[in-house]
Amino acid sequence: RVKVVGDEHAPVCVRSSRWQPRNPKRQPCVGLRGDRISGPVSEERLPQLTCSGAAHHCFCQLQSTTPCTMLSCDICGETVTSEPDMKSHLLIVHMENEVICPFCKLSGVNYEEMYFHIETAHFEQNELGRNFERINAVQYESSDNKKDTTLQCRMEVNSSVHSACASNPKISVSGLPKDVTLKHKDVNSGNLTKSKKSLKSKEKQCDLSEIKGSMYGTTYSPPECPFCGKIEDCSKDMETHVKTKHANLLDTPLEGMDRVQCSSDLELAHQLQQEEDRKRRSEESRQEMEDFQKLQRQYGLDNSGGYKQQQLRNMEIEVNRGRMHPFEFHRRKADLMESLAIGIDDGKTKTSGIIEALCRYYQSAATDVRRVWLSTVVDHFHSSFGDKGWGCGYRNFQMLLSSLLQNEAFDDCLKGMSVPCIPKIQAMIEEAWKEGFDPQGASQLNNRLQGTKAWIGACEIYTLLTSLRVKCHIIDFHKSTGPLGTHPRLFEWILNYYSSEREGSPKVVCTSKPPIYLQHQGHSRTIVGIEERKNRTLCLLIFDPGCPSREMEKLLKQDIEASNIRQLRKFVGNLKHKQYQIVAVEGVLSAEEK
């Protein structure tokens, strides 16, 4: 029987009791007291009424003495009234669509795999939610009999029935354990409050582990210590155990505890840090040594032999490749030994007469040049098999010295001297070091050049010229003075070096100025003159020791082509190295000045 309150369009389920329907196969509805029943109420429709609160945890038994089986989806919590509806729900919502774990957002699995995942990975979270529902949800069943004023109050933990039915739809209320349903004797309405208080006290005394085992048919696993494996009865005891027994393993240990373990951990961490630092320093030392050895090889300080060894080795390679006849090899080897013995260059890489040829060319051609200044006579020397890749500094010194030897102003300090070979130049620099010149440079090169392929630069050229009583100085253009990394001030200085009065001079000026040694990172060259173009731009004329004799000899022809001159010309935009150094000769030093 249903007691209806309100109008017939919005009836309210007040309380339900056991009622024998005319059609016992009909399924009862489930709802809370006070839930509104959908649709108007009539006597004919009472057996078919269903209240809108079907998802709540109580029975509004309208049609059967046996409570209905409400199925709850283990994935999303949706409740349905029959097993076919549950199958349809799983197929439509979860099997056709993507199944997502409500705890960790796992997806891409089917229903069976998701069910297994929730029961294994989120067992405690799932159990906690079910226990909360079971303890707080209460079902009321009452009967309102006109002849009997006795009130029978039956309170059940509905969530247990709900969950059990969801896990196994064949389970009925009658098959549940006795300790699940708490029954009270019939009491009058005045004793209802007392009955409720008694029920609450019994619920508090109920052991949670027993309820879990009986409700779900699963084995409850008590918490286990992650450090020592000890098992406690509840999470509270386990938390106390961990904080007291394993406080040293936590981030904030308890005050007053023994810190021996903590100190040992700190010592271990310190040892590990020291080991890591040692490995890092070892790796840095190894890398530094490799870089240093690479630099030694690059600058010829790796004890792999000097000029003589490289010359013979490269000539043997040429013979093996068929580019040199064995007879030529032995002839050149004999000339090499003779040159090394007397200390004079054999002249096989020298090209003479280029300055005179340039003077003739500028007088008859070069219409785009307004004025040009040339050094005194300079011979060109290029690298050979013995110094290829590292001998540019030595070859530029030979060019500079060849000009000084042909200049009468330096006869006093260079009298009777010839252009030396590279090993002789190395010996001369070592002698200058012994006299006390450039001790820092000597230290950097280990006071040794002979038998090595060590590079030399502006400082070594200055040291050698000064030891020969040639007055010179080094000028460092240490940064760019123009746009795009150019050095216009370098060009202006060289122009002033060759001529102080430009106006009124002839187009071609063959000065008595020696050439200028030009050094930059990785290479050195010799400046033999400068052009002033009609558009007032400047262009240097440079001898490069990397240019072979066959190319330089093209400048000795009567009709010099403009393309041959192009290899000598360097405009402002062609010199863009970060830093340049020049060695300029000024005159002769006296013995005291030396």
- Dist CA 243 CA 226 (whole Å): 12
Which phi and psi angles does 272 have, rounded to 5°?
Answer: -65, -40
- Let me know if 523 is a catalytic residue: yes
The length of the chain, given as a count of residues:
594
Residue from 536, 419, 426 nearest 488 by CA: 536
Q: Which residues contact 269 (CB under 8 A, 6 or more apart)?
A: none
Grouping H, G, I as helix, E, B as strand and the rest as coil, residue 284 is helix
- Dist CA 384 CA 387 (whole Å): 6
Angle between helices 158-167 and 208-216 (to 10 degrees): 40
Residue from 419, 375, 317 nearest 518 by CA: 375
Count of CB atoms within 10 A of residue 69's CB? 23
- Dist CA 195 CA 155 (whole Å): 10
Contact call for residues 497 and 513 (beta carbons, < 8 A): yes
- Dist CA 283 CA 521 (whole Å): 29
Contact call for residues 23 and 31 (beta carbons, < 8 A): no
- Dist CA 143 CA 189 (whole Å): 12
- Let me know if 184 is a catalytic residue: no
Contact call for residues 6 and 12 (beta carbons, < 8 A): yes
For 421-556, strand residue ranges (E) read 470-477, 508-510, 516-520, 523-533, 538-543
Count of CB atoms within 10 A of residue 16's CB? 26
Query: Which among 122, 241, 523, 577 is annotated as catalytic?
Result: 523
Contact call for residues 159 and 57 (beta carbons, < 8 A): yes
Grouping H, G, I as helix, E, B as strand and the rest as coil, residue 155 is strand
Q: Which residues contact 94 (CB under 8 A, 6 or more apart)?
A: 73, 75, 76, 111, 114
Residue from 403, 520, 535 nearest 465 by CA: 403
Angle between helices 208-216 and 123-136 (to 10 degrees): 100
- Let me know if 392 is a catalytic residue: yes
- Dist CA 142 CA 3 (whole Å): 12
Residue from 400, 397, 347 nearest 376 by CA: 400
Amino acid at 563: S
Specify burial of residue 111 (Cβ count, 10 A radius: 0-12, 13-18, 19+): middle
- Dist CA 129 CA 474 (whole Å): 88
Residue from 74, 189, 183, 175 nearest 130 by CA: 74
Query: Which among 13, 51, 153, 392 is annotated as catalytic?
Result: 392
Query: Which among 74, 379, 438, 544 is annotated as catalytic?
Result: 544
Which residues are tagged catalytic? Answer: 392, 523, 544
